[in-house]
């Protein structure tokens, strides 16, 4: 047997059980506090900041104009305004 250290399984299990009870009580208290805070309309942590929009709504007009121009060019090919010669023939 080592000098200065005694083996007492009952004491060791009681200490382990005591620490487990303290940890469990802490978890229960935290969850009760968190539930009470959120149920009361509060927030946990820092409140979120309203972020600016990720895109500029004016850019949508530019995109619509580009697609309208492309559609007009496609219509010119389909109606025969533009003609081209297929080099593979």
pTM higher than 0.75: no
pLDDT band, residue 83 (cuts 50/70/90): confident
Asked if 62 and 68 touch (Cβ cutoff 8 Å), the reply is no
Percent of the chain with pLDDT strictly greater than 70? 94
pLDDT tens profile 1-39: 455 678 889 999 999 999 999 999 999 999 999 999 999
- As a whole number of angstroms, the distance between CA 84 and CA 80 comes to 10
Query: For residue 54, what is the DSSP state?
Result: S
Give me the residue spans of the domains in the chain: 9-79
Residue 54 phi, psi (nearest 5): -75, -15
Residue of 61, 60, 81, 59 lying closest to 72 (CA atoms): 81
């Amino acid at each position: 047997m080592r000098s200065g250290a005694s083996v007492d399984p009952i004491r060791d299990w009681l200490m382990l059980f005591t620490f487990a009870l303290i940890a469990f009580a802490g978890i229960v208290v935290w969850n009760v506090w968190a539930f009470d805070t959120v149920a009361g309309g509060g927030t946990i942590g820092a409140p979120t900041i309203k972020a600016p929009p990720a895109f500029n709504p004016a850019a949508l007009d530019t995109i619509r104009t580009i697609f309208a121009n492309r559609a007009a060019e496609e219509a010119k090919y389909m109606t025969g305004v533009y003609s081209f010669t297929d080099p593979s023939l």
